[in-house]
Structure 1
């Protein structure tokens, strides 16, 4: 009987944590981590924020900021950006690693610009204005091209 009660308590605690971790809540840019605030101030100063959302996780939170021109920036718990997407313009060149910029200039699509860039601890992925998606490993070698 004791084992059943312990198992039920652990199951209930796990379910509670899972449900609590999946609730997004509105926030303000002023409540984002300092690194995120500085990134937004540096690269998107002239844009108007439509909304910001905090997504609590079991450990920490992730953040999403959307501007009125549909630019979207996602941040990790520590305030480092993980994704930037611009619908109608190129992402800021300063956030694109030089190796990726050089690859695009030397490729067969030098006139296309980056509309979305994602990064994680394993890879970088860019989406170009012509719809092409290119995935790079951490050493900036192309590992996948998807049209």
Structure 2
């Protein structure tokens, strides 16, 4: 019985160590999932790609594309975008839901623009050019601020 337990622990440790390391690897943009390629073509056509990386996970892979102006776009394994960050300009309005655009426009944030947007299954989060982070639920109700 001890031998089986020791073998199971060693097997699990081997599998865990295989997936624990930093395994990002370069990937050509045309090897990204089709949905990701379409998103990039639609929203960032005029920019030059600096590099793209694939980050294999236990199931599937995640992707990150970085442009020469330091714009970063992250994608989930299905090719859907999970975050867009621009260092020096606003995130394209076509990426930001209308409800969030309206909230920023009507709020007390004059002359601010959205420089980062993230989404997951339950929430949306934006970062304004002044560093203020605003979190929304799935119905685009504000649920938190962080400066």
Structure-2-length-normalised TM-score? 0.92
The 8 Å contact of residues 83 and 118 in structure 1, kept in 2 or not, is answered as: yes
The residue aligned with 2:55 is 55
Counterpart-to-counterpart distance in 1, 2:145 and 2:46? 33
Deviation track 1:41-73 (CA, whole Å, cap 9, x = no partner) reads 111111110000000000000000000000000
The residue aligned with 1:14 is 15
The Cα shift of 1:104 comes to: 0.9
The residue aligned with 2:3 is 2
Output aligned runs, 1:1-147, within 5 Å: 1-19=2-20, 22-147=22-147
The Cα shift of 1:130 comes to: 1.5
Counterpart-to-counterpart distance in 2, 1:19 and 1:133? 30
Q: Which runs of 4+ in 1 moved over 6 A?
A: none
Counterpart-to-counterpart distance in 1, 2:72 and 2:51? 10
Gaps of 5+ in 1: none
Structure-1-length-normalised TM-score? 0.92
Counterpart-to-counterpart distance in 2, 1:101 and 1:8? 51
Paired residue total: 146
